[in-house]
Structures are given as C-alpha cells and as structure tokens.
Amino acid sequence: MAPFLDLGAAYRELQSEIDAAVLASMRTGWYILGPDVEAFEADYAAYCQTAHCVGVANGLDALRLALLAMGVGPGDEVIVASNTYIATWLAVSQCGATPIPVEPQEATYNMDPSRIEAAITPRTKLILPVHLYGQPADLDTILAIARKHQLQVLEDAAQSHGARYKGRRIGGYADAAAWSFYPGKNLGALGDGGAVTTNNPEIADRVRVLRNYGSRVKYVNEIQGFNSRLDPIQAAVLRVKLKHLDTWNARRDVIAAHYNTTLASAGLLLPTVPQWANPVWHLYVIRTKKREALQQHLTDSGIATQIHYPIPPHLQQAYSSLGYKSGSFPITESMANEALSLPIGPQLASECQNKVIAALLEFQSFNARFY
C-alpha cells in the first residue's frame, strides 16, 4: 500500500524528541499560553524572517483574526482566490465582509494578478492571495496592485511553511500572513494550531488581544474578542518539528523532482514552477481529463490519492447566496474536475513512490493502446 501521507511515520521519526518536549511542557504547569507558546512564537518569527508571530487555535482563526486586525468588517470586500479551500472564504465571511473571487493562472493554480484590478471596487479593503499547494503566489505583482489602490495584502500561507519567493521566505513579505499547523501540513502539530506573522507591530498587537477575549490584562476586556490560543503542548511539538522542517521540505523536493522526471511522458499535466519560486510541495497535483478512471486504477493498485478540491467555494451550498452558477469561474471548475493529488511527504518511501509512478505509466500505456 502506498499511503497518501503517513502521519504516524512522521511522529515515529521524531518520537523521542516529541515525547520529551510534551512531557516537559506538561511539567511546567502552564496549560494556556505561557513560555512554550512564547518560545515557539519567537522561533517561528525568526524562521519566517518577521518581527512578530502570534499563535492562535487554528488556521481559520489565523485568517479571521488577521483580517479583523487589519480592519476588515461588514460592508467590505476582500479579493480572494477562486481556487482554494473554503477556509479562505469563510474567514472573510466571518468578518462580515464579502469574498470577491479571482480566477487562477492555469500554470501555477495561484491567483492571476492580471485579473485583480477588474475585481477592485470602492468597497475593496484587502487582497488575500493563497500560496496554494506550497507554491508562492506572485507577491511583487500583487503588492504593486495593492499599493496602487491603497489596499492591504494578507497571505494565506496555510500550505507553504518554508517556501521562498525570490529567495526570501514568505510570511513577512506582505502586510501579514496566516498559517495553519493542521497535522497534515508541512509543519503540523498533533492537533489544530495556527499563527499570524507580520512585521507590523499594530497588527500583531491586535491579534494578541483578539485571540484572548479582547484582553491584555486579566478581567480587563478592551474589545469583544475570541478564545483562540495556540495550545502550549502543540507549541512544544511545533518547536521540535520546526528544527526538521527544512530537511523534510528538501525530501519533498526530491520526491517532486523524481515525479517530474519520470512522469514527463505520462500524458499528464504536471506542476509548473516559476523561476522566482521555491515551493515546498505540500501537495503534488497533476491534472487529467481521465481523473476518475486514473484514480480508480491507482486505488486498485493500492495507491491512495486525494482530490484538492472537488467542489470550488463558489459552488458550495454555503455560498449559494452569492448567486454563482456552474460556469462562473471556468478555470477553477476545470481544475476541480481534473486535479489529482499524488502521495508526497517526507516519510514517503522510494519503493512507494516508484509504485505510484509504475501505476501511472501503466495507465498511460493502456490508454495509448486502446483509446
């Protein structure tokens, strides 16, 4: 069996370090915020080359609290990627604002900067690009548009821990970045977790207040805040994993390169990486018009795959009130109908990857003979 992602293997590789960190955290007596969270925040801010990191409960809260801290509220519009997980949109809606979708570039799956200005209105407050599948969006171009129209930019970095844009780590390139530490992420906790990184001290301060009931001092509540705090045990686990993140990302890079080389003639649309991007291969996504048949062939061959994402946000029942129909965003819909994520992860054994490649080539050979 070739698993899609083996989280158990990731834990076993670092088991002694993780177990020791968790035990040490429990012995501190700090179970809400405290020194483990503060230490991780300092470590991750340094890793992302930013001045501030604020730990929160999960990736959705990281997006929502960052948006609120940046002044997004009822009546505002936020330009979002049409091709993304629904959390990007939900964060906007939960602030009382309206998500305004922009189609992706065919080659990169990320927001197409050439389409952004057409979506800007007097109500636009912010642009929210996603670094999808671990590959950076074109930040310089997006930031130039934002500055021209006096807009802020929040990066959805939930899938891109360690990725670089033009040689610089993402996380402090725009006004702020929101992170998820969901277990399956490149930097994943043993449960939910999230963070906001920024070089803006005012944004960081507002997120800290918002995450803790709107309070800086116990029982003194300045605003109507939330309960969204990174758990100290998860922070301790993340500190351990952060030390290994670059090594694990390098393993993903080797796996992606092997896919690129061996599948070049397999009749599939493979990922495209711009010269200025250093992705971290959170996902390795191919496209084919024969996705259902291919996925079934891989399943029959003992290979697990996933579809990211089968129903775009604009076609979800949750957003039916916006009035979008099938065909509203054809590039996004085409991707949703054709994209297939192959197994990738730092613990993926070479024999498992070779099994995936052999099955893909077998499928292509069969189709070449009979279709």
Give the per-residue pLDDT at 368.
Answer: 52
How does 43-63 read in b/e, with b if 16+ C-beta sit within 10 Å? bbbebbebebbbbbbbbbbbb
Mean pLDDT for 255-277 is: 96
Distances 338 to 134, 251, 335 between C-alpha atoms, Å: 19, 26, 5
CA dihedral 205, 149, 170, 60 (to 10 degrees): 60
Mean pLDDT of the chain: 96
pLDDT digits (tens, 9 = 90+) for 169-208: 999 999 999 999 999 999 999 999 999 999 999 999 999 9
pLDDT at site 367: 67
Is residue 366's pLDDT more than 70? no
- Looking at residues 211-228, what average pLDDT do you find? 96
Q: How far apart are CA 356 and CA 334, in angstroms?
A: 24
Contacts of 296 (CB under 8 A, 6+ apart): none
**Ranges 146-160, 246-260, 357-371: which has the least confidence:** 357-371
The 10s digit of each residue's pLDDT in 23-67 is 999 999 999 999 999 999 999 999 999 999 999 999 999 999 999
Interval 215-242 mean pLDDT: 97
- Judged against a pLDDT cut of 50, whether residue 265 lies above it is answered with yes
d(CA 117, CA 149): 9
CB 156 within 8 Å of CB 131 = yes
pTM: 0.97
pLDDT of residue 369: 45
pLDDT surpassing 70 at residue 342: yes
- For residue 9, what pLDDT band results from cuts at 50, 70 and 90? very high
- pLDDT of 284 reads 98
The answer to whether residue 72 scores a pLDDT higher than 70 is: yes
Contact 237, 43 (CB under 8 A): no
